Amino acid sequence: MSPPDPPRPGAPAHLRTRLRRVFRTVRARVLTAVLAATALGLAVAGVVSHAVQEDVARARIDRSLDQEVAELRELAANGYDGVRFASVAELLRASIRNDLPDANESAVGIVVGGQTYAPATRPFELEDSPRVRELAAAVTPDAAPVRETVETAAGSTRIVAVPVSLPGGAPGEPVLGLYVVGHAVEPELRAVADNARTFAVVALGALLAVAAVAWLVTARLLRPLDDLHATAVAVGAADLSRRVPVHGDDDVADVARSFNEMLERLEESFATQRRFLDDAGHELRTPLTIVQGHLELVDVADARDVTETRALVLDELDRMTRLVDDLTLLAKAHQPNFVALRPVDAGQLLDEAFDKVVPLGERRWRVDARADAEVVADPQRVQQALIQLVSNAVKFSGPGDLVALGSAVHGRDLLLWVRDSGPGIAPEDVERIFERFGRAETGRGVEGSGLGLAIVSAIAEAHGGRVDVASLPGAGATFTLVLPLRPVDAEGPAADADVVVAGGAA
């Protein structure tokens, strides 16, 4: 018996997996980032604002103490109602009476060696503080005012202690005193702390509001991605007809649109591939059936029958090989390396093709025109196309008929044509003959696969060009390869360099 699984710490595994999945979503990540940034911003704002408010509160306390000192000095210098004070005791008493302390403020006037004067009501007593008593004991006539923070019954208290002296007082009168004003700091800071608490509550509310808005907005923004995901999952090679719903006109909608376009191209390419396979299977089945039929019926005892069947089977196999070669070539036609473009001499291209095709049949051979130009092309593929066009011309014409080749520059194109005086092509057949396995009335009874013109067309398209046909039934046909002198794809720096070298050598 196997030992039981050890208990796992923390949350159960399935819950952890679920949580991990939730936190891996873009929505959760966006939300986390937005909340973290907002929280950080609010925290920095809160801390800075709290520090500033505290500084402002302390400065206000100091200003209010300064005000008290200024008032005392004014009294000492100018007296009250124009009458100067005769004694320190009088001055301190008047000053205390004059003073209207606010709720957190207290004052005391101490005559050295004499009485202590204080307002009738005050929130706390300053003379209780040992530090205040110490300052009073140590006061000298020309000491500077002391400003510091001391502990009193009201807690931390900011005080200013101003020495007072009136020389020339009555004999025996004390001439030194200390006027102390204190402001309790804590009540002021409590107000600042209250503000901070209010800010924290508001900030938390704002954070929750941001979270709710971000949650809704991300859901809305990411919905197209969910649609994209669902469509991508649903689409298979068997069914490429699904499309993503496109909402609005923003960049996310662009993604959905591009995705749909991609699906369209894929669907088309799959359909082309399927048609290609259907066509190829159909065309290959005929020779296979012929071969099988003959082999089944051959009389192996009859040497003549065997020889004839062998020749026929070899002939059919030959046809199949050509068919397979042509199909392979067509399948390759959309690959980027189907043509190897380079600058070539158009005149030479025509000459070489002409030399190769003349032995194809007893015809009246002619060169209509010969362009002396340079074209960026794949000479092998262009010759292959010309030879295909000439072999058609020969195939569909008779001995003594005219077959002419020609080339000319027209605008930015090179025209290469093959002209014959054969039966021509009916206008309604013109489109069909360029399709794979497409044949016209003229093709009937003439051997062929119907792939020749499809290959010529593919070669022209790989050069960025096309094939034109001009024909009248009974009056021959002219097939023209229209090739750009410089295909757009070849107009990169490499092609430029090639052309410059070729031009320089000429």
DSSP code, position 487: -
Number of Cβ within a 10 Å radius of residue 441: 12
Instruction: Scan residues 453-482 and list those touching ligand ADP (CB under 6 A).
Output: 453-454, 477
CA 48 to chain centre: 36
Residue (129 or 392) nearer to ligand ADP, CB? 392
CA distance 451 to 435: 8
Q: Name the one range near ligand ADP by CB under 6 A: 20-28, 98-106, 153-161, 391-399.
A: 391-399
Q: Which of 104, 392, 421, 480 binds ligand ADP (CB under 6 A)?
A: 392
Per rule CB under 6 A, is residue 393 in the interface with ligand ADP?
A: yes
Which of 141, 127, 137, 133 lies closest to 176 in space, CA to CA?
141
Per rule CB under 6 A, is residue 449 in the interface with ligand ADP?
A: yes
Residue (263 or 454) nearer to ligand ADP, CB? 454
Q: Which of 182, 224, 379, 443 binds ligand ADP (CB under 6 A)?
A: 443
Per rule CB under 6 A, is residue 423 in the interface with ligand ADP?
A: yes
Number of Cβ within a 10 Å radius of residue 33: 11
CA distance 7 to 50: 49
Q: Which of 422, 465, 484, 487 binds ligand ADP (CB under 6 A)?
A: 422
CB of 279 to ligand ADP, least distance (A): 13
Residue (377 or 385) nearer to ligand ADP, CB? 385
Per rule CB under 6 A, is residue 406 in the interface with ligand ADP?
A: no
Q: For 370-506, where are the E strands, in sequence order?
A: 374-377, 402-410, 413-420, 466-471, 477-484
Structure tokens at 138: 């140590």
CA distance 411 to 276: 36
Residues touching ligand ADP: how many (CB under 6 A)? 22
Residue (251 or 447) nearer to ligand ADP, CB? 447
CB of 414 to ligand ADP, least distance (A): 21
Q: Which of 88, 346, 433, 482 binds ligand ADP (CB under 6 A)?
A: 433
Give kind and range of the element (H or E) at residue 258: helix 251-297
The bridge status of strand 402-410 relative to strand 364-369 is parallel
CB of 425 to ligand ADP, least distance (A): 5
Per rule CB under 6 A, is residue 396 in the interface with ligand ADP?
A: yes
Residue (433 or 462) nearer to ligand ADP, CB? 433
**Please, what's the b/e burial string for 404-425 (b: 16 or more CB within 10 A of its CB; e: otherwise)?**
bbbbbeeeebbbbbbbbbbbbb
| Sites of contact with ligand ADP (CB under 6 A) | 392-393, 396, 420, 422-425, 433, 438-440, 442-443, 448-454, 477
